[in-house]
Chains A and B, each alone.
Chain A
Amino acid sequence: MADRYNPQVIEHLVRPRRVGEVSEASGVGESGDAACGDVARFSVRIESKVLTDVRYKVYGCAACIAAGSALAELVNGEPLLGAARVSKQDLQEALGGPLSLGKEHALTLVLDALHKAFEDHLNREAGDILVEGYGGAANSGAKGVVAAMSGGVDSAVTALLLKEAGYEVVTVTFRLHDGEKGSRSCCSPDTVLFARDTAHRMRLPHFTLNLKELFNKRVMRDFVGSYRQGRTPNPCVACNAHVKFHAAAFLADRLGFKKVATGHYAKVADGPALARPVDERKDQTYVLWPIPRELLKRAIFPLGDYRKTEVRRIAEERGLAVAYTPESQDICFIPDGDYRGYVRKKVKVEPGDVVDREGAVLGRHEGVVDFTIGQRRGIGVSASTPLYVTEVRPQTNQVVVGRRQDLEVREVRVRGLNWFLDPREARFVQVRYNSAPVACEIEKGEASGEWVARLAEPAAGVAPGQSAVFYTGDGKRVVGGGVVASRET
Chain B
Amino acid sequence: MEHAVYLDNAATTPLDQRVLEAMLPYLRGGRGNPSSLHAAGAAARDAVEVARGAVAAMLGANPEEILFTAGGTEADNLAVLGLARAASPEKRHVVVSRVEHAAVREAARRLESEGFEVTSLGVDADGLVDPAKFAGALRPETALAAVVWANNEVGTVEPIEELAQICAERGIPLHADAVQATGRLPLDVGEVPVATLAISAHKLYGPQGAGALYVREGIPLEPLVFGGGQERGLRSGTENVAGLVGLGEASRLADRELEERAWHERRLRDRILAGATAIPGVRVNGHPEKRLSNNAHLTVEGVEAEGLVLFVDSLGYAVGNGSACASGSAGHKASPVLLAMGRDEREAFSSVRVTVGKDNTDEEVEGFLEAFSAAVARLRELSPLYTRVES
Contact = CB atoms under 8 A, between A and B. Distances in A.
Interface of A: 1-3, 5, 10, 13-14, 16, 19-20, 30, 34-41, 57-65, 100-103, 105-106, 109, 187
A254 B310 CA distance: 43
A63 B307 CA distance: 8
Contacts of B378: 16
A60 B378 CA distance: 13
B76 interface: no
Given A19-B382, A57-B384, A102-B326, A35 B345 contact: yes
Identify the 3 closest CB pairs spanning chains A and B, nearest first: A102-B329, A105-B328, A61-B327
A84 to B, nearest CB: 22
A63 B327 contact: yes
B386 interface: yes
A61 B306 contact: yes
A13 B311 contact: yes
Interface residues of B, number: 29
Interface of B: 302-304, 306-307, 310-311, 314, 324-332, 344-346, 349, 378-379, 381-386
B384 A59 contact: yes
Given A19-B381, A30-B384, A34-B345, A59 B328 contact: no
A65 B384 contact: no
Contact of B324 (A2, A19, A62): A2
B383 A38 contact: no
A109 B344 CA distance: 22
Contacts of B344: 35
A303 B362 CA distance: 73
A117 to B, nearest CB: 13
Nearest to B333: A37
A102 B302 contact: no
Contact of A14 (B306, B311, B327, B349): B311
Contacts of A35: 344-346
Nearest to A35: B345
A61 B382 contact: no
Contact of A58 (B329, B330, B382): B382
A101 B314 contact: no
Given A59-B304, A62-B307, A41 B332 contact: no
Contacts of B385: 34, 39, 59
22 contacts: A16-B382, A19-B381, A30-B384, A34-B349, A34-B385, A35-B345, A36-B328, A37-B328, A37-B345, A40-B384, A59-B303, A60-B304, A60-B307, A61-B304, A64-B304, A65-B382, A100-B326, A102-B329, A102-B331, A103-B328, A105-B327, A187-B332
Task: Label chain B's interface by main secondary structure.
Answer: loop
A187 B328 contact: yes
Among B310, B329, B332, B344, chain A packs the most CB atoms within 10 A around the CB of B310
A102 B310 contact: no
A2 B329 CA distance: 12
Contacts of B328: 36-38, 61, 102-103, 105-106, 109, 187
A326 B89 CA distance: 52
B324 A61 contact: no
B307 A13 contact: yes
A65 B375 CA distance: 13
Contacts of B381: 19-20
B383 A102 contact: no
Contact of A10 (B303, B304, B314, B326): B314
B345 A38 contact: no
Contact of B329 (A65, A101, A109): A101
Nearest to A33: B346
Contact of B383 (A5, A57, A109): A57
Nearest to A2: B324
A39 B385 CA distance: 8
A302 B383 CA distance: 45
A36 B307 CA distance: 15
A58 to B, nearest CB: 6
Contacts of B302: 59
A5 to B, nearest CB: 7
A62 B326 CA distance: 11
A152 B233 CA distance: 62
B327 A38 contact: yes
In this complex, which of A34, A38, A105 has the most chain B Cβ atoms within 10 angstroms of its Cβ?
A: A34
Given A58-B384, A65-B382, A13 B332 contact: no
Given A34-B385, A37-B332, A106 B327 contact: yes
B345 A65 contact: no
Contacts of B382: 16, 19, 57-59, 65
Contacts of B330: 102
Contacts of A30: 384
A100 B331 CA distance: 13
Most central of A10, A14, A16, A109 by chain B CB within 10 Å: A14
A37 B345 CA distance: 8
B307 A65 contact: yes
A93 B153 CA distance: 36
Q: Which one of A37, A41, A65, A103 has the highest number of Cβ atoms from chain B below 10 Å of its Cβ?
A: A37
A30 to B, nearest CB: 7
B382 to A, nearest CB: 5
Contacts of B332: 36-37, 102, 187
